[in-house]
Chain A
Amino acid sequence: MPLGRGERGGRLVGDTLRHAWTIARKDLLLEFRTRTAVLSAVVFTALVLTVFNFGRDPTAVATIDLAPSILWVTFSFAAILALNRAFQLELENEALEGLLVSPISRTSLYLGKLVANLMFVAVVECVALPLFVLFFDVSVWRVLAPLIAVIALATVGFVAVGTLFSAMVIRTRFAELMLPVLLLPFFIPPLTGAVQATARLLDGRPLSEAAGWLRLLAAYDVAFLVLATLLFPHTVDE
């Protein structure tokens, strides 16, 4: 039976999302079975937080003044670490070639990798946030929901552009070095916005004061999600 245009479009979107989920599930299953990568990332993040404690003069600088920077520098490092492994694992046994010849669109591949990376970073952040509260005695209970919203907004921005770049760097020399060099300039706008919003939240001020920054974060997410989805096929095709 011939399908109407709307129906066909709907099926296309459905297929894309279903395939994306297949990719994401594959990656997450791999992570879950080995657990090495995510565990290393968690330990690394805890270490960065520890390093920050010694990277300041406790008699001169109050923790609360540094807290937003500590949180966001830690999260950026965690994101870079997660993104470095995103396509690295596809290099073994030419797995990427397998993915590219499978009947899955490039868009699904990108979205799947994006979701897997987001989950990976989210797990690391879920461990890092309580550790941050514990180590630096910052009370976040009152602002937990808006804080999580800010973290989610900025993380999507980090990972959207990071997933695109991680697909590129795997076929370059010094991939592990190349990714942060390319990626960190792109972290500046979401990082600035997230730090400003977090600072206002931890200060007990209303989130509406950071409305401009939240708009910037949202605009960045939308712009780079669309751009990365459009550009991704050019990074993997032979």
Chain B
Amino acid sequence: MRLARAGRWVTLVGLVLLAGVYLRALAFTPIERSQGPAQKIFYLHMPAAVWAELAMVLVGLAGVFYLFLKDPRLDRFAAASAEAGTVFAAIVLTTGPIWGKPIWGTWWSWDARLTLTLLLFFLYMGYLLLRSATPDPALRARYSAVLGICGLVLVPFIHLSTVMFRTLHPAPIVLKPSQPSLPGSMLITLLFSFGVFTLLYIGFVMQRYGLSLLREELAARERAAAVARGRGGGGGDGGDDA
């Protein structure tokens, strides 16, 4: 309960700071010469994209550790991270086309990194669907760990195959071997935004983690109540796991 409430505060701070990112991006960061104002969306798009991928990495790693340690906290974290990752992937998939229309001249293109994000989104959807379709909690944790690990291994393969397929995307300008070629003021805005998105990720995960704790508590109480009813002579029909 405390965790979910703290998560809500972290998220709130993140959202306020996000308004700050907008303010800085729109009023205090120069307009990019060739792309014009459309480039402003990059300050949301890129941090969201990084977190959409990092969240999958964390889901996979949590899966690896879960299979060894069988600690339910790891499973709860993986589920929360997948939910946050889904949100970030959705942000990337909506901001991308908004930028793509004026710059590429098309809402959608089967570009390598776009395709990767789309498949990441499908992977997250599959992960969450598998969780909701597996009623037994222990089985659900193991299945999601297995799928998370497979997803972690799949991502580089998709990356490779889509890059080999074709790419239209602007080449990386920050995370590349040579010096970042982004002008200083833009880089500061970007890093600020990245920090805010990190905060949002943490806030989201805390909230969802807290919520799944509450759900488990509720299920346990319902089971206990059903047992008590059964003992009291009432015809209780047993607890419901779902």
Which residues of A pack against B, CB within 8 Å? 161, 164-165, 168-169, 171-174, 178, 181-182, 184-186, 188-189, 192-193, 196, 212-213, 216, 219-220, 223-224, 227, 231, 234-235
CA distance A133 to B82 in the complex (A): 44
CA distance A234 to B149 in the complex (A): 12
Give 23 pairs: A residue, B residue, CB < 8 Å, sorted on A: A164-B146, A168-B143, A171-B139, A172-B130, A172-B134, A173-B133, A178-B129, A182-B126, A182-B129, A185-B119, A185-B158, A188-B119, A188-B158, A189-B157, A192-B162, A192-B164, A216-B160, A220-B157, A224-B153, A227-B150, A231-B146, A234-B146, A235-B143
List 4 A-B pairs, minimum CB-CB distance, nearest first: A172-B133, A189-B157, A189-B161, A192-B161
Assuming the A-B contacts A171-B134, A216-B160, A234-B67, are A192 and B126 also in contact, with contact meaning beta carbons closer than 8 angstroms in the complex? no
Q: Are B126 and A185 in contact (CB under 8 A)?
A: yes
Q: Are A189 and B139 in contact (CB under 8 A)?
A: no
Task: Give the residues in chain A near B125, CB-CB below 8 Å.
Answer: 181
CA distance A178 to B158 in the complex (A): 21
Q: Are A161 and B134 in contact (CB under 8 A)?
A: no
Task: Give the residues in chain B near A184, CB-CB below 8 Å.
Answer: 122
Interface of A is mostly: helix
Q: Are A178 and B133 in contact (CB under 8 A)?
A: yes
> What residue of chain B has the Cβ atom nearest to residue A195's Cβ?
B165
Can you add 17 more A-B contacts, CB < 8 Å, to A173-B133, A182-B129, A219-B157? A164-B150, A168-B130, A171-B136, A172-B133, A174-B133, A181-B129, A182-B147, A189-B157, A189-B158, A189-B160, A189-B161, A193-B161, A216-B157, A216-B161, A234-B67, A234-B146, A235-B143
Task: Give the residues in chain A near B136, CB-CB below 8 Å.
Answer: 171
Verify if B200 is at the interface (C-beta below 8 Å from A): no
> What residue of chain B has the Cβ atom nearest to residue A184's Cβ?
B122
Which residues of B pack against A, CB within 8 Å? 67, 119, 122-123, 125-126, 129-130, 133-136, 139, 142-143, 145-147, 149-150, 153-154, 157-158, 160-162, 164-165
CA distance A186 to B162 in the complex (A): 13
Task: Give the residues in chain B near A178, CB-CB below 8 Å.
Answer: 129-130, 133
CA distance A174 to B119 in the complex (A): 22
Smallest CB–CB gap between B221 and chain A, Å?
24
CA distance A40 to B130 in the complex (A): 27
> Among the interface residues A164, A168, A178, A220, which one has the most CB atoms of the partner chain B within 10 A?
A168
Task: Give the residues in chain A near B147, CB-CB below 8 Å.
Answer: 165, 168, 182
CA distance A224 to B153 in the complex (A): 8
Q: Are A185 and B161 in contact (CB under 8 A)?
A: no
Task: Give the residues in chain B near A161, CB-CB below 8 Å.
Answer: 150
Q: Are B146 and A213 in contact (CB under 8 A)?
A: no
Q: Are A185 and B123 in contact (CB under 8 A)?
A: yes
Smallest CB–CB gap between A35 and chain B, Å?
31
CA distance A173 to B131 in the complex (A): 10
Smallest CB–CB gap between B9 and chain A, Å?
35
Task: Give the residues in chain A near B154, CB-CB below 8 Å.
Answer: 185-186, 189
Smallest CB–CB gap between B147 and chain A, Å?
7
CA distance A168 to B133 in the complex (A): 11
CA distance A223 to B161 in the complex (A): 15
CA distance A165 to B151 in the complex (A): 12
CA distance A171 to B130 in the complex (A): 10
Task: Give the residues in chain B near A193, CB-CB below 8 Å.
Answer: 161
Which of A188, A216, A227 meets B153, CB within 8 Å?
A227
